[in-house]
Structure 1
Amino acid sequence: MYKVLLVDDESWTRDIIRAFGEWEKFEMDIVGEADDGLEALRLTELLAPEVVITDMRMPGADGMQLLRMLNDRFPEIKVIVVSGYDDFNYAKHALRYRAVDYLLKPVDPKELNAALQNCKSELEAALQDRSAMSLDLDISYLLSSYKQLLRTHFNELNKEGVAATLQQMTGELERNGIKKAGMLEQVVQEMLLLLKELMFANSLDSESLHAPYSHDALASSANMTSFLIQHYEDTLEQLIHQRKFKNKLNLEEVKQFIEMHFAESVTLEQLARAFFVSKEYLSKVFKLEFGRNVTDYILFLRMEKAKEWLADESIPIKAVAEMAGYEDVTYFYRVFKKHFGIAPGEMRKSGEV
């Protein structure tokens, strides 16, 4: 069964789509629902849907932002846009990010099911392509720990750490016999996809990464490493210049960074280094602007999102803790109870979420 995620801030619209879709006919199953783009992105990471059906106008992160995030991070997902506004800009945005179809409200059952058929056809074609050139899961597994290190070094603007991590990664690839061009191409694709994700999270234009790269980059492990280091370092230079030479600290940019990374290990010291200010100054002006210090704001975001996710009983509490940035579930219980005065399980049972 293909998994489907519904995204709309109006629950009745989600009910209509659920009622009109011929889900069994298209071998599809609705696995989750979200009412804004950020929640949709979190559920996408958790549930891995093949199809997302989204509205365009929503509070918080809207459909435009969600389309861009899905295109950057999950380009294989098929998207159907459903909008109550016959707006050329929305349609253009949907086309730019390769939406399968653009439907107007009120939803026409025939149009919806035609769009679902198109999604199924594209998914089946993609599956055949993957079978012809399947990715090596062992390579992906090997890369996973290096990706996490790269995220940390990148967010700390640590060019030396990024280069050293990519070199260590190449060394392990070679020790495992991963040297052929086809294997190296998978590595390059996965590392560029990670870089696109990091660029998007830091409000950088990632269009340049769509350009085809020279086969010289795959001629050897050394060439591949130099190619990746160059891309990562050039991007970091761009980000450093963007932040370091601004006339004034952009607190909205800091706030947006926190909102994109609150589930990670973000500290005041890391933020201060990343935005080229002292931690004392950042702490002071952030609290003056937003009424909370950085640590309290991170805690607030984690708790609010955890409360939202608890409302979906299909998500285990352990998964909620991990999504909110807590590997230790016991510690998550303590923090949650201190914040809300009630344990996560009790809140879920009480229906207060």
Structure 2
Amino acid sequence: MPYKVMIVDDEKWNRDMVRTLVEWDRHGLELAGEAEDGDGALNAIRETGSQIVITDMRMPGMDGVRLMERIHETYPDIKTIVVSGYDDFHYLKHAIRYRAVDYLLKPIDPKELNAILSKCVSDLASASVQERELPLEMSLALSTCKQLLQRHFNELNRGGISHALEQVRKELNVRGITQPSRLERVVLELQVALKETMNANMLSEEPLPPIGRNDTVTSETAIRFVEEQYLRVLDMLAASRKFKNKLNLEEIKQYAERHFAENITLEQMAKVFYVSKEYLSKAFKQEYGLNLTDYILRQRMEKAKEWLLDEGLSIKAVAEMAGYEDVAYFYRVFKKHYGVAPGEMRKKSLVEKTD
């Protein structure tokens, strides 16, 4: 029996594009249906028994984040593939949280889409949900590692990347995780994190090769496979920055706009762009009229204000997406910046919207 695929996007031409690019017969797939938003998708999934969902992130009504949350809760064995534009970068954290198989950037690469669908079919055919799921302790360790990898990558810290991945290898051994399907899951999650970082740094969008199903794969070979990819991409980033003739303030500004939700400091950015922090601070303020740290804060606050308009996002989620793990601290910073608390801002915006 063919595996059933649901396509979810509020734009008809995007749905048409996905439908055209999928090699249905090759993968043994059939189109179960299409939906314009998450509500319609959930109803269609329930009626058709879809096993793969290809969804956009930004849609009216129930968006991709809430759809993935509901799928994760109700249909944990469904394979979800996210399709996203650059503006959706911060929503991709949710894609990882709700265990999307992968995400694609628009315009969609047909080869990448079909490679991911091939992996979905392989997983559905050969592994149970229990085999693919990672123990909670391993998932937490992996989440911590991905945060460290992102920071080390942006600081061009090769040693830090190797050390973080070595900790993952040790954790896999301690937990006795040897099943090929689980090791593949670890590799995939680390690759998704690497692709996020590549996109944020405007590096090549070439697809990362999958490790492939191999009964002889070990924690050592899996982590070495990932490490080679991270260090190769790191060399690409270092080369693109090291040989610039002069400081490009517009690039600094764009970097801050892409990484504002991370714990970046003036010292880290100076190191990334091979200049002193004093020179960077002075040049940025002369060009844009405010300190770099103030500019990053402004980016966080503007995005937080925008996300508060989405009633489907809790204030805690907004705080996390804006880079604040401490919600109480987010409240204080937001109120100092705008003069009102986040909850008051949300109520005021919704009232103005209905008037």
Q: TM-score by structure 1 length? A: 0.67
Alpha-carbon distance in 1 for matches of 2:260, 2:320: 12
- Cα deviations across residues 67-115 of structure 1 (Å, max 9, x unaligned)? 9999997775899x9xxxxxxxx9xx45648789xxxxxxxxxxxxxxx
Q: Which amino acid aligns with 1:26?
A: A
**Alignment check: 8 A CA contact 1:174 1:221 kept:** yes
**Alignment check: 8 A CA contact 1:69 1:200 kept:** no
1:48 to 61, 68, 71: 68
**Alignment check: 8 A CA contact 1:166 1:229 kept:** yes
**Structure 2: gaps spanning 5 or more residues:** 1-5, 13-34, 47-54, 72-79
Aligned in 2, Cα 1:345/1:217: closer, same or farther, shift over 3 Å?
same
Q: Which amino acid aligns with 1:152?
A: R
**Alignment check: 8 A CA contact 1:199 1:206 kept:** yes
Residue 248 of structure 1: SS of its match in structure 2?
A: coil
Counterpart of 1:189 in structure 2 is: 188
Alpha-carbon distance in 1 for matches of 2:191, 2:155: 19
Instruction: Out of 193-202 and 63-72, give the one that drifted further.
Output: 63-72
Aligned in 2, Cα 1:154/1:220: closer, same or farther, shift over 3 Å?
same
Q: Which amino acid aligns with 1:182?
A: S
Alpha-carbon distance in 1 for matches of 2:157, 2:82: 38
Counterpart of 2:286 in structure 1 is: 288
Alpha-carbon distance in 2 for matches of 1:336, 1:270: 24
Counterpart of 1:336 in structure 2 is: 334
Instruction: Please report how far the alpha carbon of residue 161 of structure 1 lies from its aligned counterpart in structure 2 after TM superposition.
Output: 0.7
Q: Which residues in structure 2 correspond to 1:13-24 (within 5 Å)?
A: none
Q: Which amino acid aligns with 2:341?
A: A
- 2:145 equivalent to 1:146: yes
Q: How many positions carry a matched residue from both structures?
A: 293
Residue 311 of structure 1: SS of its match in structure 2?
A: coil
Q: Matched residues, percent identical? A: 44
Counterpart of 2:133 in structure 1 is: 136
- 2:246 equivalent to 1:239: no
Residue 26 of structure 1: SS of its match in structure 2?
A: helix
Q: Which amino acid aligns with 1:48?
A: M
**Alignment check: 8 A CA contact 2:211 2:222 kept:** no
Residue 44 of structure 2: SS of its match in structure 1?
A: coil
**Structure 1: gaps spanning 5 or more residues:** 9-16, 55-62, 82-89, 101-121
Alpha-carbon distance in 2 for matches of 1:248, 1:325: 30
Instruction: Please report how far the alpha carbon of residue 350 of structure 1 lies from its aligned counterpart in structure 2 after TM superposition.
Output: 2.3
Residue 168 of structure 2: SS of its match in structure 1?
A: helix
Q: TM-score by structure 2 length? A: 0.67
Instruction: Please report how far the alpha carbon of residue 263 of structure 1 lies from its aligned counterpart in structure 2 after TM superposition.
Output: 1.2
Residue 315 of structure 1: SS of its match in structure 2?
A: coil
**Alignment check: 8 A CA contact 1:218 1:224 kept:** no
Counterpart of 1:14 in structure 2 is: none
